[in-house]
Amino acid sequence: MGRTVVLPGTSSGDHHHGDSETGIYVVSGHPVFVFRDPDSGSLVRLEAVPGDYVWVLPHVPHREENPYPDTEAVVVIAQVYAGSDRG
């Protein structure tokens, strides 16, 4: 688990977290999480606000964006590997 700062005007680029499930809690700012809908193939943009939780399943390509030019976003990320008995 860790705290991450998404700098103003940045994007993480598309990636996935392998076999891990990932929970993201938005502490501050307004990050945007982008992924492809597995059924339609269209891009989905989740615009998060402080207090939101975002859950990312294993092997799901996604990216984090901070479209705001003057405000950083702070998130806390926790990962659990699928099949792990650690929580």
Write out pLDDT tens, residues 57-87: 898 899 999 999 999 999 999 999 866 565 5
Evaluate the CA torsion angle 36, 38, 39, 44 in order and state its sign: negative
* 76 alpha-carbon distance from chain centroid: 10
Q: Quick one: tokens of 46?
A: 């989740």
Checking if the pLDDT of 26 tops 70, the result is: yes
pTM value is 0.85
Strands 43-47 and 32-36, by their bridges, are antiparallel
The confidence score (pLDDT) of residue 87 equals 52
The confidence score (pLDDT) of residue 37 equals 84
